[in-house]
A and B are shown apart, each in its own frame.
Chain A
Amino acid sequence: MICEKTKLALQTLFPKAAPTASDVTIDTDAREKDKKKKIEPRQNGLVERDYAIHGYHLDAQVAAGQIIEAVTILDEAEFFIEAITGVDWIKDNQLEVVYDFCRYDFDLCRVVIRTRLDRNAAEVPTITDIYAGANWHERETHEFFGIKFLGHPNLIPLLLPEDADFHPLLKDFKA
């Protein structure tokens, strides 16, 4: 129910590339794919995932500029924020920011919003104005990955020491 609604709402972010059936099949095929083969970075778009396998329903990859728009859609649909995190795709020279959202009611829908950033200029607008709870999550992602959240009120290390200038979760970090 809510999944359908959210899907339609999120699809408005991708006017050109409406999700095709091929997106879904590529994903499920990925399980049987040869692991040696380099996996191409995904194109922006919305993919409906198999909940039984992945544990979430909707997976939207958006451009960094669209984050606010996408999160506003979820806020209006009364989603709550689970977490924000990053993934370092060092082979593609990219950083990914992952936003997890879920809802409080029994109409289950887990949504993942993700965006790929250039590894050397990782900047993404903050969503603290929409979700106040994103504050710590963004600070954490910033200190672990070095991703800048533009407009964040207090982007200083949270878990690491205050003067930490290293980003331990990057794949090329050596302690």
Chain B
Amino acid sequence: MRLTLFNVVAAVIIAIAFAAVNAAYLVWAERRGAARIQRRPGPNINGPFGLLQPPLDGIKLMAKQLTIPGGADKVLFIAAPVLAMFPAIMSFVTIPFSENIVAKNMNVGVLMIFAFAALGSTSLLFAGWSSRNKYAMMASIRAVSQTVAYEIPMLITTITVVMIAGSMDLMEIVHQQSGSFLHWNIFPLLGKSHNILMPLSFLIFFTCTLAETNRSPFDLGEAESELVAGFHTEYGSMGFGLFFMAEYANIVIGSCMTTILFLGGWGCPFGLFPGVWWFILKLYLLIATFIWIRWTFPRTTIYGLLNLSWKILIPLSLFNLLLTAGLLKVF
């Protein structure tokens, strides 16, 4: 595939559209799912199964006035939601959904996605700092310390996978896992490493994804019973809408990465008919788990979160990294 202007524009538009539609309908799915868990019907008035709810919510948000609090840093205040959305969309560019569906494959795709993921927290910091609100400020500081703490175990587990695959190319990582589910990195009995502790790595990576995307039980950045609404306390209108979309876009990216790194990407569990549908199935199962977790658990505190990261996740992921390295040397 040649890199033409048309290709790039098309890829960006598709990425934005994918992110937006996903964000809108994941909100719907979240509300319906939460409602079912709590034995309510959820949104069911607008359209069949309430399916028209997300576009109507979007229209409502767009129709509202964007208020900028007095004394706020105007430039950063407006830039922050855009900055939140930007890395989320850019990450989509390099994610391979199947053998052919990828906007631009790179041989350092893993690196690029983590670079953009790290950028995401700066937008939270900008939002919290610029809105001149103590709650927002506290929340953004929490969000940044959380990201710093969770980037480490996340990267260590990713290195484990990269070490097994021997490549930073996302395509290559998926190719390495082709075959049945026993080749997947989550439980690689037939894979290269034979490391039976890989499910642990998967759990660590999944936990880190929850924390990176500011999802419950690690939603300290918005901790609504403590910090009102966290970093977006002062945001209304589409500013809030963009943060909301970015959150869901980040969830999609986190789940994509989990699928690619651990669940064999577009490969079928039994080696039959690999294709994008398997990817989508795994992706949305993971997202459903995100939603399921959110409506089950209470929130941790900042010290609980940091303790978990530094005392449990980092030692265990380091241990697993060493073990994998050793096993790769042996086999």
A–B contact with Cβ pairs below 8 Å: the answer is: no
Chain B residues within CB distance 8 Å of chain A: none
Binding site for B on A (CB under 8 A): none
